[in-house]
Chains A and B, each alone.
Chain A
């Protein structure tokens, strides 16, 4: 189901649950079902509620969309963060990849040699 941004935006005004939709226009003509849920047909059903301007409602809709977009970005960042292997494992994989390639050994000489020196000093049989 697609999110109903207009209604979600309207609920942020007047403490929520303040509006309904007109079924008839000012001349008493039935408004087609598919056309009712527009700003122009909002009716206030809550005491003390005031009608926000259409510009304010549209601004709120854009704000909700931006918020949702930010949450989607945060969502993939969090998923990746928890799925990555530990940093130590990542560096070890990197070192072994370099170890298999003479060109990379030269290109990343300092990194490769520093790790290798530790591996030699403390061999697996130690």
Chain B
């Protein structure tokens, strides 16, 4: 646990970064990114307690208020994509997920295999580590989207920073 003093209050600071280590292809719009998440380890290691991940579901190590940043780099595939985006989904009951951040950027309607990047941000008050979880999804005009992954550098990446107590 990393202890930091903010305004004379001690908080347990934690920060971690996860990335897609390999491309995930053939994603339909609103599909979750479920494969090949890994803790980034390029000149970096986690601060404090680490998040855990299984099939694209991220679980928090302790309660608290977290800033979540989701940046994804992808390819629109063979079909036209007038828009492409990345969404953050959260659950507070470990069951039903709601879209809590939708981030859509413009793409090209006449260019196939267009590359793009997109970012989304969300602050989450995690009052329970067993019920409050996060997933990430892609969104586009059409299906056939690829989220780019690499185990050497960050392409599709999620950052979790614990800002303070709940």
Contact = CB atoms under 8 A, between A and B. Distances in A.
Contact of A33 (B22, B23, B24, B152): B152
A104 to B, nearest CB: 42
Interface in B19-48: 21-26, 35-36, 38, 41-42
Interface string A15-26: 011011101000
A7 interface: yes
B159 interface: no
Contacts of A17: 24-26, 35
B24 to A, nearest CB: 6
Nearest to A18: B35
A4 B41 CA distance: 21
B36 A45 contact: yes
Judged by DSSP, the binding face of B is: loop
Most buried by B among A17, A19, A45: A17
B115 interface: yes
B151 interface: yes
Interface residues of B, number: 19
B41 A23 contact: yes
B153 A33 contact: yes
Nearest to B152: A33
Contact of A7 (B22, B26, B42): B22
Nearest to A1: B115
> Which size bracket describes the interface of A in this complex?
10 to 19
A21 B151 contact: yes
Interface string A67-78: 000000000000
A11 B36 contact: no
A1 B23 CA distance: 14
A23 B151 contact: yes
B150 interface: yes
A23 B26 contact: no
A33 B151 contact: yes
Contact of A36 (B35, B73, B148, B152): B152
Contacts of B23: 4, 7-8, 11
Contacts of B25: 11, 16-17
A19 B22 contact: yes
21 contacts: A4-B23, A4-B148, A4-B150, A7-B149, A8-B23, A11-B23, A11-B26, A16-B25, A16-B26, A17-B24, A17-B25, A17-B35, A19-B22, A21-B21, A21-B151, A23-B38, A33-B41, A33-B42, A33-B153, A34-B152, A37-B22
Instruction: Give 8 nearest A-B pairs by CB, closest first.
Output: A33-B152, A21-B151, A36-B151, A7-B23, A11-B25, A20-B36, A33-B42, A16-B25
